[in-house]
Amino acid sequence: MKQFKTILAFELKNFIKNKTFVGVTLFLVAALAIVMFFPRITDAFSSDSDADDSSISGYSGVMLILADSDEDKIAYANAFGAAFTDYDVHVATESLDAVKDKITSGEIECAFHIESPTKYTYYVGNFSMYDENYLIANEVMQSIYRLDQMTEHGIAIDDAAEILATPIEFENVSLGVDQMQNFFYAYIMIFALYIVILLYGQMVTMNVATEKSSRAMELLITSANPTSMMFGKVIASCIAGLSQLIAVFGSALLFYNLNREYWTDFEMAEMFFDIPPELLVFMLIFFLLGFLIYAFLFGAVGSTVSKLEEVNTAVSPLMMTFVFVFIICMTSMSSGNVDSTLMKVCSFVPFTSPMAMFTRIALSTVPVHEIVISIVILAASVFGVGVLAAKIYRLGVLMYGNPPKLTKLIKQVLFKK
Amino acid sequence: MVLEFRNIQKSFGEKEVLKGISFTTEGKKAFGLLGRNGAGKTTAIRILMGVFPANSGEVLLDGKPIDRASVGIGYLPEERGLYPKKKIIDQLVYFAELKGMNRKDAEKSIDYWLSRLEMSEYKNKSLDTLSKGNQQKIQLVTALAHGPQIIILDEPFSGLDPVNAMLLKSVVKEEISKGKIVIFSSHQMSYIEEFCDRIAIINGGKTVLHGDLAEIKRNCPRNKLVIRSVDADAIMKKYESRCSLGENGEILFRLDDESEKSGVMNALVSEYDVDEIKVFEPSLNDIFVEYAEEQM
């Protein structure tokens, strides 16, 4: 136990002294600070300049309305003005060609040529992918046309307006889980798990392989118990990974709360930071167990490598498996069917359950006993894989030359003492 | 303190590496564990250190199974290497702590050893800034800092300049005089001959020779003469079947029986102009070559 603590402390110190690790963490926190303070900063700037140029603030450009009769021009300009609050809407006094020239030169942004109550042409410089002006125009034109038609058929204009504007009251009640909201958490957790496991898993492999290639292993293996070494390394990287995540997400939460009033316009942000506590607990459990089971394997793989150049080849089967699980989860998430047979099986298999079970918990209603069974299987496997990895490690670190096959080592560990 | 290897056997898979190694060594005496490459020396050392257990046989200290934690074992592996990018003091403390020392004692002991090995100025440097010889001295500190009762030195002199070799010799002699068990493994026979009172030669996984070095030498058959003579060619010609040429131009004359020694000596001296004639005493190198070669 004392050895384990010594190794853990030594490995943790390595992380703290690792400039890349500290640098990346600080960079992420700083980047988040910039993002989270952004609305406050822009708000401060825009309130300063409010008084000076109130006439143009809020308008993104000039929009002209062309029509055959002056009466129509004014009516449509009023209706468009009310619908396009972002634009400075005017009646065009010039000819269509002159308007086109002005759009091309950038003097005005766009123009609507109303040809009949049910037909118009929209002129704009570059038609953006996100340009939805035509949709708004369709609605405006439709309402005007409907109102006209209704009044023509003898309905009083006020009644007609009321009929057209009747609001529908509605409410969505989810009796299971709200997929809309939880999709987010599942997505972020799975992504975080994916990145952190790949990153830290590789670090564990490199750490073991470096000790072996620098031959520090000769001394280590005679000084410390391999199980303590394996657990010390893996748990240290787990603590480092988790503290990095906590630093990043914690600072995001802190910065959000400091700037909460500036974020009210962003529903996504509010939704993101109001994570249900029970989901957070599951996230933590599956994250820890998932991280550990892979980190042990990455450590065992590292011990089979003699040269650092061989690390990439050695870890690739493990990475492939992991990427495969990631793809399965992501695909079923986006399809919305997270309770497929494949996902159900995956949510009990130790290497896939951290991602698969969490996805199911977040996006569907999973019976409690299934969750318990999955966690128990996973926890037991973490322990088993840890012990197995330590044994592979003990054999692996003393072998130099061509890396032995992992399956061969496992057989050796299991069947020959 | 007596350390005994009793009939140690070890196999890796199908391959039987040690087929029954036995030897004893004691405190205040240095012991040489010899063998050709791949003979099983490192495996024997690893069994002594508890890296893996033997398939059968026992390692005993004073007649009881060895308790490695309480006795403390210091090891200088042949394959040197520590953490190249880490500060020297940090890694030395780490290894001492792994061996069970607390931080304070570890720092104190490391300070002593760094100054004893004239390395104090490098304490806060990273290892890869040091020369190979100095790195080796740092590695030696990891073997000694925790005050082990058994010290295993695998090729301790390789890579050291003559001044550092002298320093290491005096350190090793000090440790031997403190009553510790010192085990040398080396292919540099001159060093073994200088230090070791007892040796064991391992070959093909077995102990082929074991015991007190002086006694081994005494017991070697005295059936060879060394002759230096200006008439070497004539002697070689006359006794062609019994003579061979030594490394330094001397003639090695094989006797059929030790009893004919005086007769042959007198005959040669009276017949030829002989500068020197004596009974051949094998060096450790000769003994090693003889035992390690013929048993392979």
Considering CB atoms only, which of A215, A394, A412 is closest to B81? A215
pTM of the model: 0.75
Q: Does some domain include residue A28?
A: no
CB atoms B98 and A412 under 8 Å: no
Check residue A48 and give its pLDDT.
54
Q: Does some domain include residue A8?
A: no
Q: Does some domain include residue A65?
A: yes
Residue A297 and residue A182 share a domain: yes
What are the Cα distances from residue B187, in Å, to B156, B184, B192, B282? Answer: 10, 10, 8, 17
- Structural contact between residues B32 and B188, judged by C-beta atoms closer than 8 angstroms: no
Mutate to test the interface with A, among B68, B94, B99, B185 (most CBs of A within 10 A): B94
- What does the pLDDT average to over A68-80? 86
> Chain A contacts of B100, Cβ < 8 Å?
2
Check residue A60 and give its pLDDT.
65
Torsion sign, CA atoms B41, B46, B47, B52: negative
Radius of gyration of chain B (CA): 23
What are the Cα distances from residue B254, in Å, to B221, B222, B236? Answer: 11, 10, 12
CATH classification of the domain holding A124: 3.40.190.10
- Structural contact between residues B117 and B171, judged by C-beta atoms closer than 8 angstroms: yes
Structural domain span for residue A71:
61-165
Alpha-carbon distance of A248 to A27, in angstroms, equals 10
CB atoms B84 and A223 under 8 Å: no
A216 to chain B: closest CA residue = B82
Lookup: tokens for A335:
């399809």
Residue A297 and residue A274 share a domain: yes
φ, ψ for residue A111 (rounded to 5)?
Answer: -150, 145
Residue A282 and residue A189 share a domain: yes
At residue A55 the predicted structure's pLDDT band, cuts being 50, 70 and 90, is: very low
The residues facing B25 across adjacent strands are: B3
| AA identity, residue A229 | M
The beta strands (E) that lie in chain B are given as 2-12, 15-26, 30-35, 56-61, 64-65, 73-76, 150-154, 181-185, 198-203, 206-212, 224-229, 243-245, 251-254, 274-279
CB atoms B94 and A412 under 8 Å: no
Residue A221 and residue A368 share a domain: yes
Q: Does some domain include residue A130?
A: yes
Residue A126 and residue A256 share a domain: no
Residue A295 and residue A270 share a domain: yes
Domain boundary among the residues A165, A200, A219 is at A165
CB atoms B95 and A211 under 8 Å: no
Q: Does some domain include residue A170?
A: no
CB atoms A222 and B95 under 8 Å: no
> Chain B contacts of A10, Cβ < 8 Å?
94
CB atoms B49 and A222 under 8 Å: yes
Distance from CA of A217 to the nearest CA of B (A): 8
CB atoms B81 and A219 under 8 Å: yes
pLDDT at A54 over 50: no
What are the Cα distances from residue A232, in Å, to A236, A238, A245, B26? Answer: 6, 10, 20, 36
Check residue A274 and give its pLDDT.
74
Cβ neighbours of residue B39 closer than 8 Å, sequence gap 6 or more: B202, B203, B204, B205, B292
**Model ipTM value:** 0.79
- Structural contact between residues B205 and B16, judged by C-beta atoms closer than 8 angstroms: yes
Mutate to test the interface with B, among A4, A12, A223 (most CBs of B within 10 A): A223
Residue A322 and residue A353 share a domain: yes
Radius of gyration of chain A (CA): 31
Q: Does some domain include residue A6?
A: no
Please tell me which residue, B69 or A417, carries the higher pLDDT value: B69
Q: Does B80 touch chain A (CB under 8 A)?
A: yes
Beta carbons within 10 angstroms of residue B197's beta carbon? 16
Number of domains in chain A: 2
A348-364 tens-digit pLDDT = 999 889 988 988 888 88
At residue A47 the predicted structure's pLDDT band, cuts being 50, 70 and 90, is: low
Check residue A400 and give its pLDDT.
66
Q: Does some domain include residue A44?
A: no
> Chain B contacts of A220, Cβ < 8 Å?
98
Q: What does the mean pLDDT of chain A come to?
A: 84
Alpha-carbon distance of A395 to A226, in angstroms, equals 10
Residue A261 and residue A233 share a domain: yes
Q: Does B69 touch chain A (CB under 8 A)?
A: no
Check residue B112 and give its pLDDT.
96
Considering CB atoms only, which of B52, B90, B98 is closest to A223? B98
Domain boundary among the residues A165, A195, A220 is at A165
A213 to chain B: closest CA residue = B81
pLDDT at A417 over 70: no
Size of interface A-B (CB pairs under 8 A): 51
Low pLDDT (below 70) residues in chain B: 294-296
Q: What does the DSSP assignment read for A31-58?
A: HHHHHHHHHHHHHHHHHHHTTTTTTTTT
Q: Does some domain include residue A173?
A: no
Residue A185 and residue A154 share a domain: no
B252-282 tens-digit pLDDT = 988 888 888 889 899 889 999 989 999 888 8
> Chain A contacts of B13, Cβ < 8 Å?
412, 416
Residue A312 and residue A279 share a domain: yes
Q: Which residues of A touch B (CB under 8 A)?
A: 2-3, 6-7, 10, 13, 211, 214-224, 394, 398, 412, 416
Q: Does B92 touch chain A (CB under 8 A)?
A: no
Query: A32-46, A261-275, A376-390: lowest mean pLDDT where?
Result: A261-275
Residue A316 and residue A255 share a domain: yes
Residue A388 and residue A288 share a domain: yes
Check residue A57 and give its pLDDT.
41
Domain boundary among the residues A165, A196, A221 is at A165
Alpha-carbon distance of A267 to B54, in angstroms, equals 67
The rounded Cα A294 to chain-centroid distance in angstroms is: 22
Considering CB atoms only, which of B46, B49, B82 is closest to A216? B82
Q: What does the DSSP assignment read for B96-162?
A: HHHTT--HHHHHHHHHHHHHHTT-GGGTTSBGGGS-HHHHHHHHHHHHHTT--SEEEEESTTTT--H
Considering CB atoms only, which of A2, A6, A416 is closest to B94? A6
